[in-house]
A and B are shown apart, each in its own frame.
Chain A
Amino acid sequence: MDKINKNDLLKLLTSLKDKNKLIAPVKAEKDIVFDYVNDVKDIVLDFTNTVKPAKEFFIPQREDILEFNNGKIKAIFSDEKRVFFGIRPCDLKGLCVMDPTFREGIEDPHYLEKRKNTVIIALACTTLCDENAFCESAKAGPVADGCFDLQLIPLGKNEYFVENGSKAGADIIDKNKQLFKKADKSDIKKMEDTKNKKINKKKVDLDLFLEKLKGRFNNKAYWKEASLTCLRCGACNYLCPSCFCNNMVDNTKKRYRCWDSCMFRGFTRQAANLIPRDELYTRFRQRLYHKYKWHKERYGVHMCTGCGRCVTYCPGLIPYIDIINEVSNSNGE
């Protein structure tokens, strides 16, 4: 088992940057964001999570996917090799949760190529990132339990325990042996303490929620009341690390796809302008059922990693956590 100190970590990232495009948390003008990095000195190591989740590098908000040229159609791919450093456990789990939807049935090469070509070095959390986070209840964080190539777990200020999660991860350690040190007993204890430490302020029981959702679907009054102040902005999909729905748009030169939101009225607009989920409460309900019931029943995981963004960034101030707890504690009707 290995560990690495901060200086050596930056050296490691510098060397990885030579052959790969490096993505990491940096300071934009006023906020911490994920961006391509030229100088590893710009990387911010002690950041709380970004507003926009890491998924934007795998399924961008807008992405050209086909090019039309004189009757010829060409698919647009990127086979760029990338290293993504600093992804937090909730965003990481978000990718794992959406993977099967792009993999099973019809494969989506635009997404899968990017997943395949990106080495992920995750960064575990030791402090609370957001008042509304419930990653512990969602079994996503504050330390990831898989999905990464390498995971760094802070051991104090300047040192990280290194957990290896894949062959690509092992290769990195192998090729850069001089930068890693063996973790001793006290390091391992510290690492385990971090893994066991509870830092969330909010708690939910997603399995109980799923059970109670079963009888609640037709409780129109409840869903109407719950969605009363939703301003249809789409943030609870756009900024959610595990939402993946997108819309296809053609213009004369290109087909692009862009993020979509089940909270939008047009999401289910059909020919002849029939809109099955025309009423706001039905869309609101749809989002919760997909996330907390149907996805789990289909793929075995909840489509929520407890990052808290849907609460923190909701302009309608919808208290999603309270809703989950309220339904969980109800008689299920």
Chain B
Amino acid sequence: MPKVLTTCVYCGCGCGLYLDIEKDKVVGVTPSFNHPVSRGRLCVKGFNVHEFIHSDKRLKKPLIKKNGKFVETSWDNALSIVAKRLKEIKKKHGADSIACLSSAKCTNEENYIMQKFARAAIGTNNVDHCARLCHSSTVAGLAMAFGSGAMTNSIDEIENADVILITGSNTSEQHPLIATRVINAVKKGAKLIIIDPRKLFLSNIAHLSLQQRPGTDVAWINGLMHVIIEEALEDKNFIKERTEDYEKLKKTVKRYTPEKVSKITGIEESKIIEVARLYGKADKASIIFSMGITQHTTGTDNVLSLANLAMLTGNVGKESTGVNPLRGQNNVQGACDVGALYDVYSGYQKVADESSRDKFSKAWNVKLPDKQGLSVVEIFNNAWKGKVNAIYVMGENPIISDPDANHVAEALKKVDFLVVQDIFLSETAELADVVLPSASFAEKDGTYTNTERRVQLVKKAIDPVGQSRSDWEIICDVASRMGYKMGYKNSAEIMDEIASLTPIYAGIGHERLTNWGLQWPVKDKKHNGTKFLHKDNFTRGKGKFHAVEFKEPNELPNKKYPYILTTGRILEQWHTRTMTGKSATLDREEPFGYVEISPEDAKALEIKNGWKIKVSSRRGSIEPIARVTDSAKPGVIFIPFHYKEAAANKLTNPALDPIAKIPEYKVCAVRIDKI
């Protein structure tokens, strides 16, 4: 049957697949044998990516709320209401009373249009998206250390590492096709080290699998460096030639003896020494991390520490090494790259920097605001305080995905005007004044940028379902109706504009991406992209060591809330289940919210496997099903955050990392009660 080559919409691996079309419907998926990441393989989500597209729950017409109920309306009417209300609110309260949430699920082109809409059409830098909640600390930390906040190396290179250190990434569940590379590396003799509060699936094949107390990452990483320096395993040449501020680091980590670190983290002293030796002696050592590192009030510190570790041993700037953040969403890398962030335009060009502002002002033909915008969490805080009066959401579901979800829901109820653009009526959309139906990834053209910076094509396989339209088309219409003309022939033309304004994307154009895309930086139309970063020089010149001290998480267990809750995801569900929840095959795997609890804790609390229990934090309580498993350590419980019926984020702590403004999803104090 006809097959259209495109990119998987779920995770940041960015696997290549064909959508199979039969009578204008997507009826299946064919893996692409020649794709450089997936090589003919897919995970279960990729194999079933077609299933949600034709769900009968898809939004097919614009909706407006009348007397608390949604009624269908025409596009013309919906768009004019949106434009009129936004104009009114801007006039009354100023442009900064409006905020836009962009989406890591949408294409680069759509994200670019969304931030342009916020900045040029509305006149505010209040634009952000869920990257704030996953890897903003990576972007901040790696930019400080190396000058560029992305995966340093490529997925392919993982297979040839000698030592792989995975921390805070449940790779087999969240990046299955990267797990394939890890498994292959282990088969070829690499030593795998996993440091994570939980025993993970890949722990089964790990050389060492250690469980630290959640939130103590700076301590164990400093401990490793202490041992490495103590045993003279550092790369003196690399430190001398390529880095600065080494002495400061040395002084700080001197105090992190294995004994001290063991007390803080709960990892045995001998194991800390063993890991330090393994990593320190490796010829090619690769660090893989994800949200277990980033989602802390010390998220940026954690990332800086990993960067320290890699530089100390010269494990950056060459093949099969590096500091490799795995980006979660299919296009979270791209959404950041094209400026859907409150402080930067596309290509991380700072809003605060006058020359960048001038450049964009000229290109967009409008004076641009110089005040830094609000981050996701701040947007809701300000909405709650009545300082943000309208929110425009594209393809996000913050009621489930953001910390302290009850607070988010209240904030959304408080705003005067809420517009949500989505493919389904999400929990957030239910609160909206206007809901605009958008086309799914199978119904539009564009690009996604995967976790290894590979900008790849997404192709239209079928016409949009119902009256749905591409997100960029909808936003351009709203902008034009507000008096700022925006219009493009197609998404390729938007990419041309991005390329003209964004040095790291300068050489990118849709016509150049037909051969499995290009990895940025792509300097010009002749440059073929960049496999790994920081080869001879760091993006910022010298790599910078940062002396980082360990700080405790914001909320620690106490008598009333004696357990630590950590959150995460599972293989078959995606984010807030707006898509996987509508896929019969995927949802059947794990349809109910649950909590992992150690046999010891279960016994003490007299809880049995399969029972519904009550888990409460200072912010709320939920009732997940108990799953007694030895992957959890006594004192620590784990809840996947996907389920609205047992929304972990009603419990999580919105305390922020001071630099990146990322909330501390990974540690909060809870209590457990039988019901």
B172 touches A231 (CB 8 A): yes
Write out, one digit per residue, whether chain A residues 223-258 have a CB within 8 A of any chain B CB (1) or not (0). Answer: 000001101111100110000000101011100001
**Contact stretch, chosen from A26-34, A91-99, A112-120:** A26-34
B180 touches A231 (CB 8 A): yes
Does B253 have its Cβ within 8 Å of any Cβ on chain A?
no
Provide the bound-state CA to CA distance between A127 and B589, in Å. 40
**Contact stretch, chosen from B30-38, B292-300, B390-398, B638-646:** B30-38
CB distance from B121 to the nearest CB of A (A): 36
Provide the bound-state CA to CA distance between A56 and B18, in Å. 14
Does A61 have its Cβ within 8 Å of any Cβ on chain B?
yes
B180 touches A316 (CB 8 A): yes
Nearest residue in B to A267 (C-beta to C-beta)? Answer: B588
A231 touches B5 (CB 8 A): no
Does A320 have its Cβ within 8 Å of any Cβ on chain B?
no
Known contacts A28-B18, A312-B40; decide if A51 and B30 are in contact (CB<8 Å).
yes
Does B260 have its Cβ within 8 Å of any Cβ on chain A?
no
CB distance from B78 to the nearest CB of A (A): 25
Does A264 have its Cβ within 8 Å of any Cβ on chain B?
yes
Provide the bound-state CA to CA distance between A28 and B571, in Å. 30
**Which residues of A lie under 8 Å from residue B204 when comparing CB positions?**
228-229
Question: Residue among B1, B51, B514, B589 with the most chain A CB within 10 A?
Answer: B1
A258 touches B44 (CB 8 A): no
A315 touches B177 (CB 8 A): yes
A235 touches B42 (CB 8 A): yes
Known contacts A33-B3, A61-B20; decide if A258 and B42 are in contact (CB<8 Å).
no
Provide the bound-state CA to CA distance between A88 and B22, in Å. 23
Q: Which residues 292-333 of A sit at the B interface, judged by CB distance below 8 A?
A: 312-317
A266 touches B1 (CB 8 A): no
Provide the bound-state CA to CA distance between A34 and B55, in Å. 26
Provide the bound-state CA to CA distance between A61 and B28, in Å. 5
Known contacts A60-B27, A314-B41; decide if A30 and B32 are in contact (CB<8 Å).
yes
A315 touches B180 (CB 8 A): yes
Does A67 have its Cβ within 8 Å of any Cβ on chain B?
no
Q: Which of B32, B47, B572 contacts A31 (CB 8 A)?
A: B32
Q: Which of A36, A233, A251 contacts B55 (CB 8 A)?
A: A251
Provide the bound-state CA to CA distance between A313 and B48, in Å. 16
Known contacts A62-B50, A317-B180; decide if A233 and B205 are in contact (CB<8 Å).
no
Known contacts A62-B50, A266-B589; decide if A258 and B584 are in contact (CB<8 Å).
yes
Does A260 have its Cβ within 8 Å of any Cβ on chain B?
yes
B3 touches A28 (CB 8 A): yes
Provide the bound-state CA to CA distance between A170 and B29, in Å. 36
A232 touches B28 (CB 8 A): no
Nearest residue in B to A63 (C-beta to C-beta)? Answer: B27
Q: Which residues 567-603 of B sit at the A interface, judged by CB distance below 8 A?
A: 571-572, 584-585, 588-592
Provide the bound-state CA to CA distance between A189 and B457, in Å. 50
A232 touches B44 (CB 8 A): yes
Does A290 have its Cβ within 8 Å of any Cβ on chain B?
no
B176 touches A266 (CB 8 A): no
Does A203 have its Cβ within 8 Å of any Cβ on chain B?
no
**Which residues of A lie under 8 Å from residue B585 when comparing CB positions?**
247, 258, 260, 264, 266
**Which residues of B lie under 8 Å from residue A266 when comparing CB positions?**
585, 588-591
Provide the bound-state CA to CA distance between A33 and B172, in Å. 29
B40 touches A231 (CB 8 A): no
Provide the bound-state CA to CA distance between A232 and B176, in Å. 10
A62 touches B28 (CB 8 A): yes
Does B635 have its Cβ within 8 Å of any Cβ on chain A?
no
Provide the bound-state CA to CA distance between A233 and B40, in Å. 12
Question: Residue among B41, B179, B571 with the most chain A CB within 10 A?
Answer: B41
**Which residues of B lie under 8 Å from residue A264 when comparing CB positions?**
44, 585, 588-589
**Which residues of B lie under 8 Å from residue A258 when comparing CB positions?**
48, 51, 584-585
How many residues belonging to A are interface residues under a CB distance threshold of 8 Å?
44
Provide the bound-state CA to CA distance between A63 and B22, in Å. 10
Q: Which of A229, A249, A315 contacts B205 (CB 8 A)?
A: A229
Provide the bound-state CA to CA distance between A60 and B35, in Å. 23
A56 touches B40 (CB 8 A): no
Provide the bound-state CA to CA distance between A60 and B590, in Å. 25
Does B43 have its Cβ within 8 Å of any Cβ on chain A?
yes
CB distance from A11 to the nearest CB of B (A): 25
Write out, one digit per residue, whether chain A residues 207-219 have a CB within 8 A of any chain B CB (1) or not (0). Answer: 0000000000000
Does A182 have its Cβ within 8 Å of any Cβ on chain B?
no
**Which residues of A lie under 8 Å from residue B28 when comparing CB positions?**
52, 56, 60-62, 259
**Which residues of A lie under 8 Å from residue B29 when comparing CB positions?**
61
Provide the bound-state CA to CA distance between A110 and B43, in Å. 28
Q: Which residues 172-186 of B sit at the A interface, judged by CB distance below 8 A?
A: 172, 176-177, 179-180, 183-184
Does A198 have its Cβ within 8 Å of any Cβ on chain B?
no
Q: Which residues 592-624 of B sit at the A interface, judged by CB distance below 8 A?
A: 592
Write out, one digit per residue, whether chain B residues 52-74 have a CB within 8 A of any chain A CB (1) or not (0). Answer: 00011000000000000000000
Provide the bound-state CA to CA distance between A212 and B16, in Å. 39
**Which residues of A lie under 8 Å from residue B55 when comparing CB positions?**
251
**Which residues of A lie under 8 Å from residue B591 when comparing CB positions?**
266
Q: Which of B47, B50, B588 contacts A235 (CB 8 A)?
A: B47
A sample of 15 cross-chain residue pairs with beta-carbon separation below 8 angstroms, ordered by A number, consists of A28-B3, A29-B514, A30-B35, A35-B3, A62-B51, A233-B42, A233-B47, A247-B584, A251-B55, A265-B590, A273-B592, A313-B31, A314-B41, A315-B180, A317-B184
Q: A265-B590, A316-B180 are in contact. List 17 more A-B contacts (CB 8 A).
A: A28-B3, A29-B18, A29-B514, A33-B30, A63-B27, A228-B204, A231-B44, A231-B571, A232-B572, A235-B47, A247-B584, A264-B44, A266-B590, A315-B41, A315-B176, A317-B183, A317-B184
Residues of chain A whose beta carbon lies under 8 Å from any beta carbon of chain B:
28-31, 33-36, 51-52, 56-57, 60-63, 228-229, 231-235, 238-239, 247, 249, 251-253, 258-260, 264-266, 269, 273, 312-317
Which 8 A-B pairs have CB atoms at the shortest separation, nearest pair first? Answer: A61-B28, A266-B588, A29-B5, A249-B584, A315-B41, A315-B180, A62-B27, A52-B30
